[in-house]
């Protein structure tokens, strides 16, 4: 016979890191940690990230393809001093993600997300268009921006 007890333990551990079916907290961690910023996510940030992941899961289910998180939470040090991010970036609150969807051009994804918000299927406030990824965030206000370059 197999080892059903061990299997149970493994699946419990996996569940702890999971936020939704396809997203886990590690995907949203500050990339500054790789460069030694050693920041920690507060409970408030984690709570925001969970709401963000819930929206991303709806999008992922709609698309039926994996979504890669290029950038999720960014601590102030990493955002302001290492990547020159916007001072009031939603990333600092754990409310934003820069995403890439498999086999979807960023411009196409931007337009689709905007449509899904209009249809009340998605509940993002901000959507930003970039050349190589799409920014989404869960701020309360409706914001659209275009940061594409030629
Ligand atoms: Zn950091």
Domains of the chain: 22-144 (3.30.1380.10)
Which of these, 130, 107, 127, lies nearest to 117 by C-alpha position?
A: 127
Rounded to whole angstroms, the Cα distance separating 63 from 134 reads 14
Question: How much distance in Å is there from the Cα of 119 to the middle of ligand 1?
Answer: 35
Beta bridge partners of 96: 137
Inter-CA distances, 136 with 4, 7, 51, 70, 121, Å:
41, 36, 12, 12, 14
The environment of the single-atom ion ligand 1, i.e. residues with CB closer than 5 A, is 30, 32, 37, 39, 75, 78
Residue 127: phi and psi, rounded to 5, are -140, 130
pLDDT at 150: 84
Strand order in the sheet with 67-71: 67-71, 96-101, 134-137, 126-129, 143-146
Question: Is the pLDDT score of 149 beyond 70?
Answer: yes
Percent of the chain with pLDDT over 90: 83
Question: How much distance in Å is there from the Cα of 19 to the middle of ligand 1?
Answer: 20
Question: How much distance in Å is there from the Cα of 89 to the middle of ligand 1?
Answer: 14
Which position has the higher pLDDT, 97 or 6?
Answer: 97
Q: Which two tokens stand for residue 96?
A: 């934003």
Question: How much distance in Å is there from the Cα of 6 to the middle of ligand 1?
Answer: 35
Question: Is the pLDDT score of 127 beyond 60?
Answer: yes
pTM of the predicted model as reported, rounded to 2 decimal places:
0.88
Question: How much distance in Å is there from the Cα of 2 to the middle of ligand 1?
Answer: 42
The per-residue pLDDT of the chain, averaged, comes to: 91
């Amino acid at each position: 016979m197999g080892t059903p007890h061990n299997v149970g333990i493994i699946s419990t551990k996996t569940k702890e890191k999971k936020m939704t079916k396809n997203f886990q907290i590690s995907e949203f961690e500050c990339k500054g940690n790789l460069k030694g910023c050693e920041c920690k996510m507060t409970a408030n940030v984690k709570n925001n990230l969970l709401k963000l992941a819930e929206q991303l899961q709806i999008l992922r289910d709609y698309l039926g393809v994996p979504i890669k998180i290029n950038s999720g939470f960014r601590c102030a040090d990493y955002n302001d001093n290492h990547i020159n991010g916007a001072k009031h970036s939603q990333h600092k609150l754990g409310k934003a993600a820069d995403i890439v969807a498999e086999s979807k051009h960023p411009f196409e994804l931007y337009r689709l997300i905007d449509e899904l918000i209009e249809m009340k299927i998605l509940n993002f406030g901000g959507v930003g268009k970039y050349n190589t990824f799409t920014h989404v965030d869960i701020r309360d206000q409706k914001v659209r921006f275009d940061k594409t370059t030629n």
